[in-house]
Amino acid sequence: MSDKKIIHIGSTVEKAEQGDYTLDVASILKEGWAITKNHKTPIISGLLFVFFIAIIAVSVIASYLGGPENMMADPQANVIANMVLTVIIWPFLAGVEMMGVSHAVGIKTRTGFVFAFLKRSAFIALTAIIVWSLTSLGFALILPGIYIAIALSLTVPLLIEKNMTPIQAIILSFKATRFQWLRLLQIYSALFSLAIMSILPAVMGAPLLISLPIMVVALLLLAPYYYNVKGILYREIFGVSMQVVDNNGRKDTYFSA
């Protein structure tokens, strides 16, 4: 016989809408690194799977759009390719996003998480397309693009964990992140700076035997670090509800939505 109970960790949607939460930049980055030391393999393997899917998708899309050269040269073909690729990979990438959320609340994950939310593929793909479109339009003016990219960076976890519609998730993300947007900018800027530093030796012309290992090792650490930090941000801003099921002494944990 199983016993179920709901536990909640972090903030709440109501607090997020009112800005009743705080973000300690240093503490979040420090906690993200501590989590990454113990929870990086599933994210790395999940991203490798998504990368493999993306390569296949790009090859197929390019063949229908007249080849890679034509796809890159033709702005319309490039937009179509980006939209199709977004629809294909985001239902899997959403699983990687939720790995970070899971790690932030102490749930272990596995590579198979990339398949965990395919039942919501249509909503995830639609959300990703809307976010991509808004961000692309914003980046045409540079600064609005940066604002939108940060403001909507947690939209997909909202869609999944809170069981929201795409529009609900986008609106809530805009509402909640405006209160601490500058601190979010600091956190994402720190992550971006680390990524730039990892490729700096190659850019500055260091020997390949030196620059390539540095870049590979750094990126293999930074990718899970990025998603784990996002998971912490989600917990601190919106909170996470989980369903704990006790099956004859064995406790299984699921997102309550």
pLDDT digits (tens, 9 = 90+) for 192-216: 999 888 877 777 776 766 767 777 7
Q: How far apart are CA 61 and CA 55, in angstroms?
A: 10
d(CA 46, CA 56): 16
State the number of CA atoms in the 13 A half-sphere of 48 facing the CB: 11
Partner residues linked to 242 by β-bridges:
7, 255
**pLDDT at position 1 over 50:** no
User: pLDDT confidence of 249, banded at 50, 70, 90?
Assistant: low
pLDDT class for 117, splitting at 50, 70, 90?
Answer: very high
Mean of pLDDT values over 59-74: 81
Summarize the confidence of residues 46-64 as an average pLDDT.
91
Instruction: State mean pLDDT over 121-137.
Output: 93
Dihedral, CA atoms, 153, 159, 160, 162, nearest 10 degrees?
110
Residue 157 has pLDDT above 60, yes or no: yes
131 or 250: whose pLDDT is higher? 131
Three-state DSSP state, 95: helix
pLDDT over threshold 80, residue 146:
yes
pLDDT at position 252 over 60 = no
Work out the average pLDDT over 244-250.
59
Order of all β-strands in the sheet with 2-9: 2-9, 240-247, 250-255
Tokens read off for 213 = 């290992």
Residue 2 pLDDT level (bands cut at 50, 70, 90):
low
The yes-or-no verdict on residue 217 having pLDDT over 80 is no
Instruction: Please list the alpha-helical segments (H only) found in the chain.
Output: 13-18, 25-38, 41-64, 68-73, 75-104, 121-139, 143-151, 155-161, 166-177, 181-203, 208-237
Q: Which of 66-70, 155-159, 210-214 is predicted with the least confidence, judged by mean pLDDT?
A: 210-214
For 48, counting Cβ atoms within 10 Å of its Cβ (0-12 exposed, 13-18 middle, 19+ buried), the class is: middle
Q: What is the mean pLDDT of the chain?
A: 88
| Stronger pLDDT, 1 or 197, i.e. the higher one | 197
> Looking at the predicted structure, is the pLDDT value of residue 63 above 90?
no
How far, in Å, CA of 41 to CA of 175, rounded? 34
Sorting pLDDT into bands at 50, 70 and 90, what band is 68?
confident
Say if CB 228 and CB 100 are below 8 A apart: yes
Average pLDDT in the 66-94 region?
A: 86
CB 42 within 8 Å of CB 101: no
Phi, psi of 66 (to 5 degrees): 90, 15
